[in-house]
Structure 1
Amino acid sequence: MSGYRGRGRRYRDDYREPVQETPEQRLRSTILKLGEVDPLQELHRVAKFIYDHPAGIPFVAECIRIGVTEQPHKIPYYAALLKILHEPPPPEIAPGFPEGVSLGRSLLEDFWKGFQGYLDQLAWREIRLCIQFFSHLTTANIVSAQSMISLLLSFTTVLDEFGVSQGRGKRAALCAVEGLLMAGQALKQHSATSVLDIINAVQTYVDTTTFLKSLAQPMVRFHALTEPIEGSIEILDCGLAAMKTLNAQDFANLSDIFPQPYLDGPEPVLPPFDLPSVLVPPEVVEMDTLGESSSEVKREEWPEYHLTLFDNDVVPDPMTPAGYALKSTLLDIIDIYDVNRKECARILLEFAKWTPAGTFRPKPNPPPGIEIPDPVPGKDWQLENTVVDNILGSMFALPDSRQRSMFYIALITELCKLSPPTVGPAVGKSIRKLYSFLGDGLDVEIGHRFADWFSVHMSNFNFQWVWKEWIPDLQLSSQNPRRGFMRKAVEFEIRLAYYDRIGRTLPEDFQNPQAQILPDKAPGPDYEYDDPVHPYHDPAQSILGLLRGRSEVADVVSALESLRNSLAESNHGAANLDSILRSIAIQSLLHTGSRSFSHFLNAVERYLPLLRNLAAGGISSSGGIPNLEARMDILTASAQFWKRNRQMVGIVFDKLMQYQIVDPTDVVSWAFGSGHGNGEGPLKVDYCQWDLLKAALDKANGRVMIAKKRVIALRKEEDENRARANADGAGNGASMEVDTDAKPDDHVESPALTTAVKAFNSLTREQKSVLSCTLDGFAACLVPLPSEPNKNDFAREVIQENVWHNRINWGTGEWGAWETWGWYRHFCGSYSAYLRTYSTTLGTVSLTRIEGSTDPAAVLVKKIWNAAIGVEET
């Protein structure tokens, strides 16, 4: 009966023996868990454990290397551990250990081999964290100052490389900055000139990135794009300022900035270790078999700006040495632990114990026996506010964040669950601060991400928010960014819950139809021909009946042809009868699939031939040539049907592009107004249109990348097959005589490769067309031609300084134009890599309408374009 598990009975007889750790696993765990209780008290215990459990120098060095690169908050303590191991141990600590031998020196030699591996791979974060480790060892007099200076100078040499990319230059500069910050005192005592050389090299590099900052700042002034704006900071600028401040103070009192546990105890007896000289490997530009470099967007190529959401008496100022040191470590923790948000949240809330005493305000009501350190003048910051400030700063970086937004959102949620009384107020203050930036220059993309985060965060906490605080802002213009944020936040919340539930969380003022915040109806389909009084109600019902009955495509086409003939004979008075019939067919098809997403997909896939027939411009089964007007009608009818659910508009458009009913260029043209029926195009671009533009751009770019990978794979396969055939021929005794007239690369491509190359070329043309069409659309919105004197004066006015300062009086037109400028700036930043690839073509074709124009709007369009393609104006 011992193994019996009867229904309704449970026996605890499945006891399992605990898993026994090997000595290596115990040693690894001990090293990596250093300091989980008290780091200072654990150092000698861990050192003795290493002596007592010999596992080989490479194994111990690897464990320390993992600790340094995956737990950056522990780097000073790993340096202290190595200092203990550096000196020959007394017999009572390591009985039997060879006398006069330095275990720490051997570990450092092997650690260096791992660092060289990171260097060869250009693993920049690991390189930078290892340099921090070496810097602390330099301060501890374990590493020689001269070799550390040489190491840092090797990274400043990168900044002088011809054509160095912004990503490579920025990351090399950060390596030099952080190395100097942590070892500056020892380095300046050894060579003040070398310290100054490092600072000047970074300063020179920073001065060359001004034009890029115009597209990366979270707060924007279109009349002064490159000027710094209060409320935002750039990471490398902060490091440079901190470095200058410490140098002016001769790097005094570093123990108030970085933990320096290695300074306790006697000075080392053995001579310091000389770091070998290095040469930073060149950046590898990956060239594929098509002779092109990758066009993928790289966030590292841009300056990294962060918003500042709290005052300097609440969170550390990143422009100061202590503030920069804390910010750098917190950002590294957030990035490294992106795979485990729960562990990340725990470490962040325990971060105070890894900082000098008095850095952060102690938690209220400490346990008995815990001594509260006295506040340090100029510090006493709030940990939770600092953590939230860094998470949101990273999430709202432009043109893209370090990690996916959902990771940051989930991390904040975990922090709130772990410590609601302290993290909750910090999140609330952040929301209010971000809201205050709306209308004061906050970038439109950041405002969009803010609404997304706000709605998801509210959904995790029962949608509770003090909406009444924002009631006075309901008197602002309907296009004011604050009013726009409220609309988006409510719309996103409804997507995450139900219309009625969200409505009950809002004050009556927000529910008033005149407020234009809460929609008058729940999101859903709007079948235009459902009303019996509609003149086309009966014809639409006949088509709807056929589609619901899953009739054959030929029968539906035949019914549409019959309707066209009957309506034309009855002189119905419709000049655009073809457009009406297409609208009836599309809306009826969407109506049959409106119950759920799966119903929608089934309906579309069943009637793909019908959709292709409609897109071809004809109702007859014979079809016709591709017709732009027909495709615009399809998009317009789809948008009309889902006008009360803008999310579904994007979904339908995406599927129409996926099944090649419409092209991405069609969606771009429609978004800019070609399919809206007025023939003039819009005067502005809002976030709904931007979402459609982004979907079309991503679709075109994604298709090119997939096609390119296929061509590369097929060519690689052919090369391998040809090489294998040649080897087999040589092995079978084939003639090795060389035909001097034969061309080694003259071979016939396989049909699959030929087809793949043609597809790639076709998709590349489509990609170029989509980019060109988008650029044309923005230029048409922002720069009226001389023949259009009154088309959009607002676009010219809102970029003037005196008009901007008077924005309290702006109306719908001004705010709409300002938002359009914001989306154009974001387009150029987000797709800069693709724009650079086709810069010659796009610059001479798409911007022809503004070439040579002295119109302020034309000048600004060109200036933003030049920043995107990497051309610095003189």
Structure 2
Amino acid sequence: MSYERRGGYRRRPRDDYDDRRREPYETPEEKLKTAIIKLGEVDAVEELPRLQKQIRDFVPVNVANISEAIRTGVTEQPYKIPYYAALILLLHDRPEESTSSEEAPPLGRLVLEDFWKGFQAYLDKLAWRETRLCIHFFAHLTIARLISPESLVALLQAFTAVLDEFGVSHGRAKRAALCAAEGLIIGGPSLKHYSATSVTEIIGAIQAFNDTTNSAKWLVQPSVKVFSDAVAIENADELLDTVLFALKTLNDSNFAQTAESFPQPYTNLPAPPADVAPFNLPSVLVPPEIIELDALSTEADAEDTAQVKKEEWPEYFLRIFDNDISPDPNTPAGYAVRTALLDIISIFEVNRKECARLLLEYPKWNLPGAFKPKPGAPTPSDVEPVAGKDWQLESTIIETILGALLVLPESSHKSVYYISLITELCKLSPSTVGPAVGKSIRKLYGSLSEGLDVEASRRFAEWFAVHMSNFGFQWVWKEWVPDLELAVQHPRRTFMRRAIEFEIRLSYHERIAKTLPEAMQSPNAHTIPEQAPGPNFEYDDPTNPHHDAAQSVLNLFRGRAKAEDVIAHLDSLKTTLEGAEDAPLSVNVDATVRSIALQSLLHIGSRSFSHLLNAIERYLPLLRNITSSTEGKAEILSASAAFWKGNRQMVGIVFDKLMQYQIVDPTDVVAWTFANRAGGLDAFEWDLMRGAIDKANGRVVIARRRVAALRKEEDDVRARDNAAGAMDVDAEGDGAAKPAESLVDNPALATALKAFTSLTREQKGALSRTLEGFVNALSPADSDASAVTPNAHTRTVITESAWLNRANWDDEEWNAWQTWGWYRQFCRVYSPYLRNYSTTLYTVSFARLEGSENPAAELLTKTWNVATGQDLS
């Protein structure tokens, strides 16, 4: 074999050794840490003695390493917490060969002391999830008699003290209440024996806080009952309600059901040595919330000083299946299962495949007999179904994921995560997860006519469409053909249209049409468009009277003419149209010219997103010229919607780009949406408004950060100058510092403050216009706000008697119901911003409704008061 010389050296042949990848080297400490974290990969109970021996054989003992490994396992694998508690108990046993038992504390005690330091760090950072899981660990150790009950009671009381803080936010109080409640659920048997009074006080404190959240629950319940103040619903459970139900059930039975709800492997191990006193958890105080204020107040707008903080609401989780299929979260065992599954879903968001695997393996970490065995799996003879359990694992998992997805007003994670997680579950076990998904879809579809919230319905449609796209768009649509007899705006028919629209976006029109029954393909079914989504250039038709004029403008765009030349041509075109003898008197020449210009530009950009952006950027001067007035902005929005009327997704994209390049303002988009809605407000129009409001809010956030950065930079410069001036002393050496010279105002900061003020005004305008639009759409039309207009369904509240008669509703009533639903979503999702401007917005939008006894006016005001924190009943 000959070798070529390249670059002055001879290449030598590679052997197998060169291709080998060197495995990363693990130190003995890292191996021990990995072993602790991987506890229970096969059988946790059998592995515990071996792991104990491995830890004891490691010399020298590194307590911090062992503690860190257990802390990682507790906070990232919470389903293993009972087994880590058992490991700590085993580490309390003194080796038989030990001769210094009286001098050195047991290893388990040392690990526990170091573990507490990590818990304190979590608490100081207000890492609520890690803090709560550590409390689970302490509660299990209390049952194992390694932690004193009195110290655990004091720890839980430190969290209930948060509930009595003045002005405590709902999010902080809810998390503190869960820490105390779940610690009591697990450690209750020991705590009740120690002090029944303390247990009652903890439950009472949580109940007292929960009673103050009734109005907030009314606004976020997933089944809309706009006619009723009642918050008790049958198909959903609120988080704090369920934990209180479970606590009260346990307390009434002296916590006898705790052992039936949580694994307690440490109860089968020998008790800790008699000479080892229980560990006393040090006393703690829950740190206060960090409230940052931006000193951005101006003379014109002094109320906008507080940085907007996302408001948190009570969490309602939809129930899909009956209690014999999935556990009832109002019971101790059911609450334990749902909490464990939610923790897995939240922690493993970074790896959905691992999350899916762990969810399907969850029964091995629960008590035997809680779930039905997989089909064909051998059932141990000594394991019998537990009374009231024997649930279906896959149905329980899907119900938990969908419940988290449909939490209002916003889910904890992005919708795409929950959707992709369900997809991974179907791939891992299609034969068992698939039927559970199908049953869930049918159950949710059935709830659409029972008042399922419009936002939850929208997310359901998105999940359905994406899930179908992952599995060949296979669905039994013929099951829903009878529903085509319902009103066109009925929620079920609205869901069909929305889901099919999403499916077409994910595939193409012809393929989706072939999956539908013939009855759904008919134009009279109003289910699927007759044509595939595409542009609609109305001036492309030679019979259009403005065809020639549009072609001349189109040719200029195709030739990449300068914006000034196009503007000049449009001016001459306007003159020509005004002087035409056959021009109808009703034609608005300015609107026609704007429509021709914009539709021609969109026609050039309709080939791709890059073509659209290039066209807009090239002709920004033209777009600003034709939108110099409010009417001009509204007209180009109408022209954009007309051009893309066959593809509503593109309407939202074009509107977003027009706002991005500041051709139109968010307020213009909101005003156009209300002016052009057909009947009620549907999900598409809500998406347009939401995009506009989010754009305005996002600009304010960016401007605020810019001002904060410049302020910090200026403060740093001033501090350095002051420090330099303090070092200068007078000639006589009396030590007096010379006054620092005044700094020249920062031009960049002044510009940023001006921009912030302008964008804040824009934000307030978008919120005000949205609120005003809803109030005008839903309040009485007459000048007398107390007048009742029974024939204007969109302007009156839907009464309870009318709701019970919803089977006979027509499109008008369902349009009204949708509009009320989107008003609720607007108030709850933007409540932090509405609170900032509550006084101004209320004066502008609700002044004429004051004193009104009209049900619609009362409901509008009540919803507003709840969202802005003025109704705390």
Taking structure 1 as the reference length, the TM-score comes to 0.94
Shift of 1:829: 0.4
CA distance in 2, matches of 1:667, 1:745: 49
Determine the C-alpha separation between the residues in 2 that align with 1:383 and 1:486.
Answer: 29
Uncovered stretches (5+) of structure 2, i.e. residues with no partner? 5-9, 298-304
TM-aligned CA deviation for residue 484 of structure 1: 0.3
Q: What corresponds to 2:310 in structure 1?
A: 297
**What's the offset of the Cα at 1:99?**
7.3
Report how far residue 741 of structure 1 moved.
12
**CA 1:155/1:724 → structure 2, altered by over 3 Å: closer, same or farther?**
same
> How far, CA to CA, are the matches of 2:831 and 2:533 in structure 1?
36
Q: Which amino acid aligns with 1:532?
A: P
Task: Give yes or no for contact 1:88–1:101 (8 Å, CA) kept in 2.
Answer: no
Aligned to 1:38: 43
Report what 2:833 is aligned to. Answer: 834
**Deviation string for 1:168-220 (max 9, x for gaps)?**
11111111110110011111111111111111111111100011112211111
1:109 and 1:632, CA in 2 relative to 1: closer, same or farther beyond 3 A? same
* Secondary structure in 1 matching 2:317: strand
Question: Within 5 Å, which residues of 2 pair with 1:755-766?
Answer: 755-766=751-762
Taking the TM superposition and a 5 Å limit, the aligned residue runs for 1:360-509 are 360-366=371-377, 373-509=383-519
- Cross-structure match for 1:624: none
Pairs within 5 Å for 1:346-745: 346-366=357-377, 373-571=383-581, 572-574=583-585, 575-616=587-628, 627-673=629-675, 676=676, 683-731=679-727
CA distance in 1 between counterparts of 2:742 and 2:293 reads: 22
Q: Is the 8 A contact 1:471 1:509 kept in 2?
A: yes
Distance 1:822 1:241 in 2: 29
Residues 293 and 737 of structure 1: is their aligned pair in 2 closer, same or farther, counting only changes over 3 Å? farther
Counterparts of 1:46-125 in structure 2, within 5 Å, are 46-53=51-58, 54-91=60-97, 101-125=105-129
Deviations 1:70-114 (A, max 9, x none): 1110011111111111232333xx899997631111111111111
Q: Quick one: distance in 2 between partners of 1:3 and 1:257?
A: 72
The structure-2 alpha-carbon separation of the partners of 1:10 and 1:391, relative to structure 1 and needing over 3 Å to count, comes to farther
Q: Do the aligned partners of 1:784 and 1:792 also contact (CA within 8 Å) in 2?
A: no
Deviates more, 1:65-74 or 1:10-19: 10-19
Letter in 2 for 1:451: A
Does structure 1 retain, via aligned residues, the 8 Å contact 2:52–2:91?
yes
Taking the TM superposition and a 5 Å limit, the aligned residue runs for 1:85-234 are 85-91=91-97, 101-234=105-238
Structure 1 residue 44 displacement after superposition:
1.1
What is the DSSP-based 3-state SS (H/G/I as helix, E as strand, rest coil) of the residue aligned with 1:296?
A: coil
Q: How does 1:295-334 map to 2 (within 5 A)?
A: 295-298=308-311, 301-334=312-345
- How many angstroms does 1:412 deviate by? 0.5
- Equivalent pair of 1:683/1:791 in contact (CA under 8 Å): no
Most deviating of 444-453 and 159-168: 159-168
Report the Cα distance in structure 2 between the residues aligned to 1:640 and 1:225, rounded to whole angstroms: 42
Cα 1:873–1:151 change in 2 (3 A) is: closer
Give the TM-score of the pair, scaled to structure 2. Answer: 0.94
CA RMSD of aligned residues (A): 2.4
Q: What's the CA shift string for 1:568-594, capped at 9, x where partnerless?
A: 111312441100010000000000110
* 1:182/1:258 contact within 8 Å kept: yes
Whether the 8 Å contact between 2:213 and 2:872 is mirrored in structure 1 is no
Is the 8 Å Cα contact of residues 683 and 792 (structure 1) preserved in structure 2? no
Query: C-alpha displacement at 1:15, in angstroms?
Result: 2.0
Deviations 1:34-54 (A, max 9, x none): 001001001111111111224
| SS in structure 1 at match of 2:385 | coil
3-state secondary structure, aligned to 2:137: helix
Q: Which moved more, 1:818-827 or 1:15-24?
A: 15-24
Mapped partners of 1:511, 1:55: distance in 2? 73
Deviations 1:648-696 (A, max 9, x none): 00000000001000000000000001xx4xxxx7542111110110001
Distance 1:246 1:776 in 2: 49
Contact in 2 for aligned 1:330/1:387 (Cα 8 Å) = yes
Q: Which amino acid aligns with 2:361?
A: E
CA distance in 2, matches of 1:486, 1:818: 18
Q: After superposition, where does 1:327-342 map in structure 2 within 5 Å?
A: 327-342=338-353
Secondary structure of 1:233 counterpart: strand
SS of the residue corresponding to residue 842 of structure 2 reads: helix
Q: Which amino acid aligns with 2:717?
A: N
Tell me the percent identity.
58
Please, which moves more after superposition, 56-65 or 344-353? Answer: 56-65
Please tell me the residue identity of whatever aligns with 2:798: I
Change beyond 3 A, Cα 1:21–1:869: same
Deviations 1:481-520 (A, max 9, x none): 0000000000000000011111111111111111111101
Q: Report the equivalent of 1:284.
A: 290
Partner of 2:29: 24
CA distance in 2, matches of 1:428, 1:56: 52
Contact 2:725 2:737 in 1 (8 A): no
The count of corresponding residues between Structure 1 and Structure 2 is 851
The structural deviation recorded for 1:366 is: 1.9
Deviation at 1:795, TM superposition (A): 3.0
What is the distance in 2 between the residues matched to 1:264 and 1:548? Answer: 82
| Structure-1 separation of matches of 2:748 and 2:443 | 57
